[in-house]
């Protein structure tokens, strides 16, 4: 025979109020304090796979390595390809392999900073994981957030990813030497960015021939 | 895309709260997700079911409230929902930080949270 015991449950509602994303924000604030303490200008470079983040950082490093002591943190799911490329310029590079994670988080940066002699640098570029969506949810504590898009991503890249542009400071439109072949209207792209976020500064570049890099350096106040 | 990790953090947070209160079982979890995050609600629900298996959260109800974004304009004092513009070409609503009242730029106050608001738990089971 089956016996059923009926239970009367005493329940309770616990008010929690914990913001899961706040944990990252707190860590980002700590990173920010570290940057301030050591007088380091730090920039988060975000964008799709193949937008030209590594090439852009390479160009910036080439132009700025006499004036600044630079370090670069590279984020990728796997490989050290980017770190090897940037490392050829004789600066300190730390590669973060996230495994399966689609973005960098503030705690990863804090760990990477332990591998850098912070007293010896005053400029840091953080190359986020190639992804135009997820990194926007996770601030890293940098002074500015740069989004790199390229004309090979098509005319609709901005309107398809509006949330990314709400939290960016600077948008680099790269590969403009290919705009004509790709049939991409650069003015329209720029207008779409400004419509979403009027505070964003845009700059057109071609990392292949170096066009626009000086303009970007001015925008970054470097 | 980062729903798995975020949901894992949600589950860990709930489990630790439940443990603090000596809960035997979790019945309901009330969650607020801001509309300006890039989290997919359906994916969060999927991972929630998966990640709560064989814990005291198994079979609990996950109630997600999507939070409307709140923006504030320092120039004219506008406080309200973020403005959406209809894109003529794409026929799609695109969010904009342009103030709907004065045209200057607004600041995001709310809409990027993943908040574990409250948890309903069983503290004791009594025989009747």
| Confidence category of residue A81, pLDDT binned at 50, 70, 90 | confident
Rounded Cα distance between A202 and B120, Å, is 48
Chain A residue with Cα closest to B32: A19
Taking 90 as the threshold, does the pLDDT of residue B85 lie above it? no
Chain B residue with Cα closest to A168: B97
Per residue in A40-72, pLDDT tens? Answer: 999 999 999 999 999 999 999 999 999 999 999
Q: Which residues in B lie closer than 8 A to residue A101 (C-beta atoms)?
A: 2, 5
Q: Which residues in B lie closer than 8 A to residue A23 (C-beta atoms)?
A: 9
Do the bridges between strand A41-47 and strand A144-150 make them parallel or antiparallel, or are there none, so unpaired? parallel
Q: Cα distance from B30 to chain A (closest Cα, Å)?
A: 9
Q: Which residues of A touch B (CB under 8 A)?
A: 5-23, 101-103, 131, 133-134, 136-137, 156, 159, 162-163, 166, 192, 195-199
Rounded Cα distance between A166 and A196, Å, is 7
In chain B, pLDDT over 70 holds for what percent of residues? 92
What is the model's pLDDT at position A85? 87
CA geometry: angle A196, A200, A202, nearest 5 deg? 110
In chain A, the N- to C-terminal Cα span, in Å, equals 82
What is the model's pLDDT at position A4? 65
Interchain proximity B17–A131, CB inside 8 Å: no
Best of B26, B104, B115, B127 to mutate (most A CBs within 10 Å, chain A): B115
Q: Which residues in B lie closer than 8 A to residue A196 (C-beta atoms)?
A: 94-97
What is the model's pLDDT at position B126? 59
Write out the two tokens for A215.
């303009």
CB A190 within 8 A of CB A202: yes
CB pairs under 8 A between A and B: 129
Does the pTM surpass 0.80? The reply is yes
Does B96 touch chain A if contact means CB atoms closer than 8 Å? Answer: yes
Mean pLDDT value across residues B39-43: 93
What is the model's pLDDT at position B125? 64
Interchain proximity B97–A13, CB inside 8 Å: no
Q: Cα distance from A70 to chain B (closest Cα, Å)?
A: 30
Q: Which residues in A lie closer than 8 A to residue B8 (C-beta atoms)?
A: none
Interchain proximity B9–A19, CB inside 8 Å: no
Q: For the beta carbon of residue A222, count every other beta carbon within 10 angstroms.
A: 14
Taking 60 as the threshold, does the pLDDT of residue B128 lie above it? no
Does B123 touch chain A if contact means CB atoms closer than 8 Å? Answer: yes
- The answer for residues whose C-beta is within 8 angstroms of residue A189's C-beta and 6 or more apart is A149, A151, A155, A157, A158, A173
Per residue in A174-186, pLDDT tens? Answer: 999 999 999 999 9
Rounded Cα distance between A105 and A24, Å, is 7
Residue of B32, B41, B42 lying closest to B113 (CA atoms): B32
Q: Cα distance from A160 to chain B (closest Cα, Å)?
A: 9
Across-strand partners of A194? none
| Confidence category of residue B127, pLDDT binned at 50, 70, 90 | low
List strand residue ranges (DSSP E) for chain B, in order: 25-34, 61-67, 70-73, 79-81, 83-87, 92-96, 106-110, 114-127
Interchain proximity A11–B126, CB inside 8 Å: no
Q: Cα distance from B25 to chain A (closest Cα, Å)?
A: 9
ipTM computed for the complex: 0.79
- The answer for residues whose C-beta is within 8 angstroms of residue A132's C-beta and 6 or more apart is A46, A47, A48, A51, A147, A149, A157, A161, A164
Lowest mean pLDDT among A28-37, A141-150, B56-65, B89-98: B89-98
Residue of B92, B104, B7 lying closest to B49 (CA atoms): B7
| Confidence category of residue A206, pLDDT binned at 50, 70, 90 | very high
CB A3 within 8 A of CB A106: no
Taking 80 as the threshold, does the pLDDT of residue B32 lie above it? yes
């Amino acid at each position: 025979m089956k016996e059923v015991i009926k239970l009367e449950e005493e329940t309770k509602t616990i008010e929690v109020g914990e913001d899961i994303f706040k944990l990252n924000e707190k860590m980002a604030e700590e990173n920010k304090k570290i940057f301030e303490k050591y007088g380091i200008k730090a920039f988060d470079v975000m964008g799709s796979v193949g937008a030209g983040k590594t090439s852009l950082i390479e160009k910036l490093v080439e132009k700025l390595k006499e004036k600044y002591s630079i370090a670069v943190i590279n984020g990728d799911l796997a490989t050290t390809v980017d770190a090897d490329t940037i490392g050829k310029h004789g600066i300190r590079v730390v590669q973060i392999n996230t495994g399966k994670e689609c973005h960098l988080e503030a705690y990863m940066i804090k760990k990477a900073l332990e591998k850098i002699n912070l007293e010896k640098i005053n400029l840091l570029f953080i190359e986020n994981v190639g992804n135009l969506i997820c990194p926007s949810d996770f601030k890293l504590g940098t002074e500015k957030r740069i989004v790199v898009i390229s004309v090979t991503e098509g005319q609709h890249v901005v309107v398809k990813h509006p949330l990314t542009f709400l939290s960016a400071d600077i948008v680099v439109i790269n590969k403009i030497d290919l705009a004509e072949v790709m049939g991409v209207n650069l003015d329209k792209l720029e207008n779409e960015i400004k419509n979403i976020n009027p505070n964003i500064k845009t700059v057109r570049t071609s990392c292949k021939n170096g066009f626009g890099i000086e303009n970007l350096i001015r925008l970054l106040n470097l | 895309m980062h729903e798995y990790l975020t949901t894992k953090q949600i589950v860990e947070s709930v489990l630790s709260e439940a443990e603090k209160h000596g809960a035997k079982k979790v019945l309901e979890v009330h969650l607020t997700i801001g509309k300006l995050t890039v989290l997919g609600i359906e994916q969060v629900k999927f991972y929630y079911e998966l990640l709560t298996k064989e814990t005291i959260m198994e079979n609990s109800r996950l109630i997600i409230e999507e939070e409307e974004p709140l923006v504030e304009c320092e120039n004219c004092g506008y406080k309200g929902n973020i403005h959406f513009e209809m894109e003529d070409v794409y026929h799609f609503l695109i969010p904009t930080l342009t103030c709907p009242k004065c045209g200057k730029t607004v600041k995001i106050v709310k809409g990027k949270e993943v908040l574990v608001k409250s948890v309903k738990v069983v503290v004791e089971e009594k025989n009747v």
